Structure 1
């Protein structure tokens, strides 16, 4: 690293440290504070490094930080995905797979999902986990809210849930397509234990997934259409698009746009009946 890069790294860390309040980070007050934000020793303790070494880093001294240490500092400061990427770039390192910063969904995106109803819309990460969804999705998958978080994955549901087999006429084709999409993310997730656990879990549960995964076919997401066969809404086609979230490039919104006004009305009726059931309960 050059001297300029060291100094910029130090300024960046100090800026982020001073912008974090102890209450925000869950740190109990320790006496009177003369400077804003966290103390250096508090960040060092959370990151598992010495206060002296962290101070040198903030001072722009020529000290070398490993990827693991940078990851710990990013977590200690609760950096966003963009901030974490910037930290690693300043340090001349490639971020660890699995993205150290936690995923955060702005409430504005949840409001967007609701505005899109009755069109099904949801937010996913690169592992194709379902992180947030609207009532249009629940109208198609009524048991989704009751599933444990580890089962709320598009590939897992497609491969293991009998309901999906009934809903999707081209079920085999969708298994192959989604598996290829998941495979395309695997190069960046070799060291991610959660990603590897997901793969092993689906392999153990689905022979169709095992066969498709073994082909090593790759496919990136492309807009297209999907046919559904729903017991209440009937047979219909939805055009789908995927929009990346600027707040966090690991997240994206998938919207299924229903072509037929009659289907829109049927899904709206299903959503209305769901709301009535909740009120009665």
Structure 2
């Protein structure tokens, strides 16, 4: 199955972005068949045998120690998100179905959302929208009127022309979505619904295809998003994403704005 090759593809993509001369190897102009570092060069930098590294890249070595994975991560110059992703891919496991599979959330979670006056929603690991409040329906769409399968932020942002057209920073959104879905693939590599979603997004979004091919990995906990709302005009909103300690695969997304700004007034109008 294709998810079995995720580790190898990720490692190859990270080898390809390092120029040999940056780490002390001759570039060998005209003699290299692939960009970046060769396997034997990466193995040398990580202090492991070429055979050991090859088995790791081929997904045939699930007993790699923390020290070895850390050495490979250092040699590849991975950031923290990429390092965590490497460790997850190197030690694949299955996770039993949870609320993140679309079964809904605890009633108290919905009560929490109803108490929040700002636009807010709860999503699962595939960014499926599992619960929401009224203001976020005014900001994005009325999730209650959508089929369950369409209550998914990647599908709405990248495949729905009406909703996706409201977000001018389409490439940035695609990059963030890929970053999140790559992490989900590392956590639950044998999730068929995830791979079905990825196939749809690759078929329908050039931006998604580009960042997916780059193996973009990124945890996004806060930031800003520009929205051209059909009624409220152009908005630049802040957002915060936090997780539930006892439901680790669920995330709470809340949109906010600085007091007194036009965006703040717009969000108050949604709350009313």
Calculate the TM-score normalised by the size of structure 2. Answer: 0.59
Runs of 4+ in 1 over 3 A off after TM superposition: 100-104, 260-272
1:110 and 2:110 aligned: yes
**Matched pairs, number:** 178
Indicate how the Cα distance of structure 1 residues 266 and 100 shifts in structure 2: closer, same or farther if over 3 A, else same: closer
Residue in 2 aligned with 1:99? Answer: 96
- Partners of 2:98 and 2:170 in 1: CA distance: 35
Residue in 1 aligned with 2:24? Answer: none
- Partners of 2:153 and 2:232 in 1: CA distance: 21
1:126 and 2:125 aligned: yes
- Partners of 1:222 and 1:121 in 2: CA distance: 14
Residue in 2 aligned with 1:164? Answer: 163
1:266 and 2:266 aligned: yes
Calculate the TM-score normalised by the size of structure 1. Answer: 0.57
- Partners of 1:266 and 1:240 in 2: CA distance: 15
Q: RMSD value over aligned CA atoms?
A: 2.3
For the 8 Å contact 1:164–1:171, the answer to whether it is kept is no
- Partners of 2:238 and 2:252 in 1: CA distance: 14
Structure 2 unmatched runs, 5+: 1-90
Q: Name the SS for the 1:185 alignment partner.
A: helix
- Partners of 1:105 and 1:214 in 2: CA distance: 33
Residue in 2 aligned with 1:253? Answer: 252
Q: Name the SS for the 1:190 alignment partner.
A: coil
For the 8 Å contact 1:223–1:239, the answer to whether it is kept is yes
- Partners of 1:245 and 1:114 in 2: CA distance: 17
Structure 1 unmatched runs, 5+: 1-93, 273-281
For the 8 Å contact 2:201–2:208, the answer to whether it is kept is yes
Describe the superposition over 1:4-39 as per-residue Cα deviations: whole angstroms up to 9, x where unpaired. Answer: xxxxxxxxxxxxxxxxxxxxxxxxxxxxxxxxxxxx
For the 8 Å contact 1:236–1:260, the answer to whether it is kept is no
What is the Cα deviation at residue 178 of structure 1?
1.4
Q: Rg bigger for which structure? A: 1
- Partners of 2:194 and 2:267 in 1: CA distance: 34
